[in-house]
Amino acid sequence: MELSPTDRRLLAALEDGLPLVARPYAAIAARVGLAEVEVIERLQGLLDAGVIKRLGLVVRHHEIGYRANAMTVWDVPDEAVDRVGQALAAAPDVTLCYRRPRRLPTWPYNLFAMVHGRERPAVLERIGQLRGEYGLADVPHAVLFSTRRFKQRGARYFAAAGVGG
Amino acid sequence: MIAIAPALLDDLDRRLIEAFQRDLPLCAEPYAAMANSLNTTEADLLERLARLEAEGVVSRVGAVVAPHRAGWSTLAAMAVPVDRMDEVAAAVSACPEINHNYAREHALNLWFVVTAESRARVTAVLHAIEQATGLEVLDLPLERAYGIDLGFKPSWN
């Protein structure tokens, strides 16, 4: 789906979030020059098309006590990675699961999953379980805990480019 | 980073977080509809959301755009000498196209997400960081996303 200029303006206006007022879609509509009902219909269309993957509260896990944040990576053979990735994505405690390119020799891993927990030992135990449950016990892997968060905010596809908003 | 005690959340805060990371009502008064389904008032719900945003528990009520549907993004990694970490991380964070930037335990110890309106712009940002720091940047764009992003399902105990 090619995004129309109007959809891009709408997404740009949403990058800082919906205002906390009784009629937030009307407030966004006024900013982008649409009617409230058009904003609602366009958002439904963008959700149906998969452009917006979710509309709701964006929660920062660290602030609710989930301090152990492990980017867990595996070097899964190419012919198996999609099957493993789909299964792993459905596991409880795995929030995001992506395939990315290897960059040999520096970076040999192609499957990424985020695993969050309150304490490191529990996260490591959970990753151990995942390796057993998803046939990954013999697959090379690494666990990259975060140690410092320098920046965390919503993505800005448009704001930096000056596309409205 | 300063360690801050986890925010104190009451039962209704927790139910709000569990119920509305997706499927925010698409009607004229969504907060009233949410309040109704949580057995509270719209005024209480709006106060809670304002407090959760102020505490950083909720970064925003908004749309999470699927990768590569409205622009381009990548995950980038660098091996930063330990004594240069603060300087390099600050230079990376200063770019408006960077939305996440974390130190991680690995030889590649700085990981950040670059998001922009086009792939060309993302590539230009990576080159600018290489030029400014003299360090190589690994570009690891998403090839495939698995599953559905349901948000974050906390257990509260």
ipTM of the complex: 0.89
- Residue A159 pLDDT: 62
Q: What rounded mean pLDDT belongs to chain B?
A: 93
pLDDT at A40 over 60: yes
Q: Kindly list the distances between the CA atom of residue A63 and the CA atoms of B3, B90, B156, in Å, as whole numbers in the listed order.
A: 10, 22, 12
CB-based contact A49:A26 (threshold 8 Å) = no
Q: Which of A99-103, A113-117, B23-27, B147-151 has the lowest mean pLDDT?
A: B147-151
Domains of chain A: 5-58 (1.10.10.2890), 61-145 (3.30.70.3460)
Band the pLDDT of A95: cuts 50, 70, 90: confident
Q: Which residues of A touch B139 (CB under 8 A)?
A: 103
Query: Could you say which residues from 37 to 96 on chain B have a Cβ atom under 8 Å away from some Cβ of chain A?
Result: 42, 46, 49-50, 52-53, 55-66, 69-71, 73, 75, 77, 89-90, 92-93, 96
| Gap from B24 CA to chain A (nearest CA, Å) | 5
Q: What rounded mean pLDDT belongs to chain A?
A: 92
User: How many angstroms separate the first and last alpha carbons of chain A?
Assistant: 21
**Alpha helices, H only, A55-119:** 78-89
- Residue B4 pLDDT: 54
Average pLDDT on B130-149 reads 95
Band the pLDDT of A93: cuts 50, 70, 90: confident
Positive or negative, the CA dihedral A85, A91, A93, A96 is positive
Q: Which residue in A has a C-alpha nearest to residue B42's C-alpha?
A: A22
Band the pLDDT of A165: cuts 50, 70, 90: very low
pLDDT at B156 over 80: no
Q: Which residues of B touch A130 (CB under 8 A)?
A: none
